[in-house]
Structure 1
């Protein structure tokens, strides 16, 4: 995401490479490039100008210390200003009420229904809540079916009245149902249309009046750029929503919506949603996003995702096996499966500082591990548990069974053996294996 913007900003900072100090001339040149990069990213010209004026002012007011080059200083200033532009700090949902009512609004096609399912999953798994999904889109029959499918996948109940064409009535009944049956969060999926119109706005305003929600989340397709910002403005004037959800962020190479929507409507971005998987919903952290835009990575999110997938018992068992030099192919396969649960492989690599730029033009499939898994699956239980058993004839059989060339298997076996040797060396260092333990 934000590839175009990241490249342009990187190019702008290179203007200062080799400069010994900050000067009015080199700052002016860099700032001009930054402004162009923002405008090309579909950022409103006035916002881009205000942003770069603040960057220039801060840069010229700084005394450059010898340990920091002008280029590094400019990156820090831009990171701080981007963080401020996108909201400065994360803003959590208000979940104090019982039940907490969350109204989900937005245009048709923005990803409201999928987000509602993701939010229910997030609240159930991360916040220990018992959510009830409400199908209040009375115009699109497929929306009710879609919500029921999503609810079934995550084990969350869906309240619907397919024959009822009164959204307000459905919502009132759903809230009563939640109170009677111990649901502590009600998530209302409302109807959307292809463009902002009076009928939709009136209906969603009536639903708001009937439900008295603690949270109103406006869902917007980030790929629509400045149109998304304008739509948010129109919705906010009628609904006074409490937060924004940016969907399809993984397909947004420019970033205009993410950068300017908070500035325009003065409401926080609360979540970002990427892909169709129901666990691909992240709380929006402005500073982390600014770091990723500038190619600085996002190690904090990477660690959090890892901690969410690796349970403590598993980690302890794995540590014991590594200490005893008994790490085998079954363990390796288990680790691969845990990594796959963390999200898109390319997205994960992009969170490692410096790696994002290196892989941006590479086509890294989420099926990248399939060949390795096929080779492991082609082994017998004894071979997986005792890698040293695998001689030449066994290798030929395993490669054939996995539909791979013998060279592919040999390369994988060599890499696996190198990894085992490295683990063995770590065991010789006092406390070395502890570094592998999930904290």
Structure 2
């Protein structure tokens, strides 16, 4: 006899137990109990025998690999849904892969254009875009690295985090490594863009940039770039112009020193940790590859980029008052940037290789790795002046540093 909290007095209690998701055996017990006439041993024995047969039949089905075909067809006819399917916890959201992306954007390599696109795409595709407001701290202490990586890991997925910061090795601290993407450009063009942007800003207004660099004196602001290069000012010399490679080398102190070690480590990280490193000179192809490799983030990015509405805003990011130095100054600058150009050429070759693998025909064939104006160059550039090891933007804003000459 069934006793305890499940002992029903009427059919309403039986239905209440069914609603709670009781097992088939328990429900049958309730039905048998309701049907038993009180004080009839023969009927009681018959009901117990029926229950025993049901249990043995259930055991036989489980031991022989499942129910017979007729029962499966009956279940399909009645439907697969159960009470717990309809009233259980919600099905967890299936995340796209990868669902953690970091864009450790290199300065003056089209990053503001890409961030503008990402803001539109984040709203369109419903992923979390976190764009850091910190622009002048690319090198971090060990504790700062751990804090930043933990903060990034807590962002609801899928997310794309972007900041001017040198490569962070999450696995070193036993944290899941996100996928990296980035874009670089010709090193001399990047340097020229940064040189004039610091002084005169972009089409959004020169006055805005005067406010941004209030400590820059007029003598520095209007310093001729040829003088800066040829007279070996710190801003136009190593290690200040060793800029792109550290973004891929990482946080190791040796990554800041121009040399083979930093160069090779940067190349290794590109191969092992970056899904794509594009080049700004082929930005449309970069966007097309991102659309194919990360469709849940970049789907329709190329059509947005080509739209007149976007170009109306995007054109405001162009640097003003930019002009090309003399041939002599360019030759000197190129020699100082040999590691930057080695890395740039490596990335360009890898980018073209990915395009060929995907079947994207390149409209920019790879030519000689040395610029035309330097192919006959035989001059040697004197060793540049060493500079203090400090944060780049803070050092550049120091009004006294730029006056130091060899």
Please, what TM-score do these two structures have when normalized by structure 2?
0.23
- Tell me which structure has the larger Cα radius of gyration: 2
Please, what TM-score do these two structures have when normalized by structure 1?
0.22
Q: Which has the higher contact order (CA 8 A, sep 6+)?
A: 2
